[in-house]
Amino acid sequence: MTFEQEQLLKKRFQENGTRWIVCENDADVRSFLFRAGLDHPPFPHVQEGEKGFTLAEGIIAETGSIILSGSRKGARRAAILAETHFVLVAENAVFDTLGDFLRLPTHPWHRRTGHALTLITGPSRTADIEKTLVMGAHGPRKLVVATAEATDIYEFFHKDRA
């Protein structure tokens, strides 16, 4: 992630009400996942009112949007039903624009064609006829995004697997 991307994300996440955590090492990744209610794979299904977790395909710095793929089990459920949505994404998957993400033919998403992408830019916001703003009416009330080195993420999800 470049300095410019980091500064833009910081600004966008603040505007969107998204909490951002930078994981410096494997221990930080484990701590983040433990807070998300996960201590090892396989992960439980998300129930309404609980925590939800998703591995994201990437982040768009321009808008502060996270990119979720329908090919990842439980991604849509976590993005809609959970009270707090925890998202983990590799630092090397931060893109300046959505176009940059879509034009990168080497991204693993391109090998999973046929799956929908979901872009999430903070908790949902809606207002009634009296213009009373409600946060999280159509999804999580809180969005917590953590970025980490891809190797630290890989280590957690592939540890002790043959």
Domain carrying residue 89: 3-158
What pLDDT sits at residue 161?
44
Work out how many domains the chain is built from and give that number.
1
How far lies 134's CA from each of 124, 138, 140, in Å? 8, 9, 12
Lowest pLDDT segment from 22-31, 34-43, 111-120, 137-146: 34-43
CATH number at residue 11: 3.40.50.10420
> pLDDT (tens digit, 9 = 90+) per residue, 39-94?
655 454 555 567 777 888 888 998 888 888 776 666 667 777 777 888 888 888 89
What pLDDT sits at residue 73?
66
Name the percent of the chain lying above pLDDT 70. Answer: 72
In this prediction, residue 126 has a pLDDT band, given cuts at 50, 70 and 90, of: confident
The rounded distance, in Å, linking the Cα atoms of 48 and 51 is 8
In this prediction, residue 162 has a pLDDT band, given cuts at 50, 70 and 90, of: very low
Q: What is the pTM of this model?
A: 0.75
Closest CA to 72 of 124, 112, 106, 41: 112
CA dihedral 103, 105, 108, 112 (to 10 degrees): 90
